[in-house]
Structure 1
Amino acid sequence: MEHKEYTNGEVNIIWKPEKCTHSGMCVKTLPKVYNPKEKPWVKPEHATSQELIDQVAKCPSGALSIKKEE
């Protein structure tokens, strides 16, 4: 399974495109972080780690997950 990782230095957002149902929950919740029209489309530096964790927990498809930096 292919995935992409985006980090803010504290947490990594892992995106699995094949699981994504494009509900738009990420874009609606944190529009400064998620912008599908830009590359990269995920910019985790535009939110706190806790905001990212809270938002990813709302992803209905499970396409987004969090991995904390070691």
Structure 2
Amino acid sequence: MEEHFYSNGEITVVWKPKLCEHAGICVKLLPKVYNPKARPWIQPENATSDELRNQVSKCPSGALSIKE
């Protein structure tokens, strides 16, 4: 399965586009990190690692995960 990796230098957000349901929870909780109009659309350096872990844990589809 295709995966994309976005690191803040401490942890890495892993995105699996085929699992994504586009619920928008990521954009609502951390709009400075997740911007569908930007490239790259995930910019984890704009949040703390704890903020990222908290948000990723709420992803309903499992498309987002954390790699320590």
How does the TM-score come out when normalised to structure 2? 0.99
**Counterpart amino acid of 1:62?**
G
Superposition misfits of 4+ residues, deviation over 3 angstroms: none
SS of 1:19's partner is coil
Deviation of residue 7 (structure 1)?
A: 0.1
CA distance in 1: counterparts of 2:9 and 2:38, whole angstroms = 21
Q: State the superposition RMSD in angstroms.
A: 0.3
Unpaired runs of 5+ residues, structure 2, are none
Aligned length: 68
Deviation of residue 29 (structure 1)?
A: 0.2
Unpaired runs of 5+ residues, structure 1, are none
Report whether the alignment pairs 1:19 with 2:11.
Answer: no
| Percent identity between the two aligned chains | 65
Deviation of residue 39 (structure 1)?
A: 0.5
How does the TM-score come out when normalised to structure 1? 0.96
